[in-house]
Amino acid sequence: MLPKADVKDYIRTIPDFPHKGIMFRDVTTLFSDPRGFRMCIDQLLSPYAGMQIDKVVGLEARGFILGGAVAHQLSVGFVPIRKKGKLPGKTIEQDYKLEYGEATMEIHEDAILPGEKILVVDDLLATGGTCEASIKLIERLGGEIISAAFVVDLPELGGRARLEAMGIDLHWLCDYEGA
């Protein structure tokens, strides 16, 4: 077997999950391999060397794994943004549309101070709805989005274009055509 040279080499594709016709990009195989996971975190961090970042925000749920590791490497705080009803303190919330309805994301109202510079981290950028809702929450608290970083981008689903239209700087490690 050839050595794995790229983050994409560690990501498994599962056809027809969770529905027929979907090609699910499974990053758990990346997380479980120490070399792959280290490569991933190093590559997520590289564009931000020397930049002021006060906190890393991770999006539920795989963004917690990545965001925690990135925050650790940057020696900054980590903030989770979760689905409604999962955070114990006072929160603010933001609704967003899904292809089959609506959902709500929440953040603790004291998680980000005005003027803090924020890096948003998640595993995958698809339609961009979750990330857009999260950005709105961060901005409502006065945070300044430095960038949003992802392991995988699925450009055909429009998330990249959606976030770029909001003026968000984006970084991703690999992309897949044909979601």
Q: Specify the DSSP class assigned to residue 9.
A: G
Q: Is the dihedral of CA 69, 70, 75, 81 positive or negative?
A: negative
Please give the Cα distance from 109 to 141 (Å, whole number).
7
Name the active-site residue from 38, 82, 99, 164. 99
Q: Are strands 55-59 and 77-83 parallel, antiparallel or unpaired?
A: parallel
Name the active-site residue from 25, 62, 82, 160. 62
Q: What are the helix (H) ranges across the chain? A: 28-31, 34-45, 62-74, 129-140, 159-165
Across the beta sheet with 55-59, what order do the strands follow? 91-98, 101-108, 77-83, 55-59, 117-125, 144-153, 170-175
Q: Quick check: is 139 catalytic?
A: no
Which tokens hold the place of 136?
Answer: 């709105």
Q: Quick check: is 38 catalytic?
A: no
Active site amino acids:
62, 99
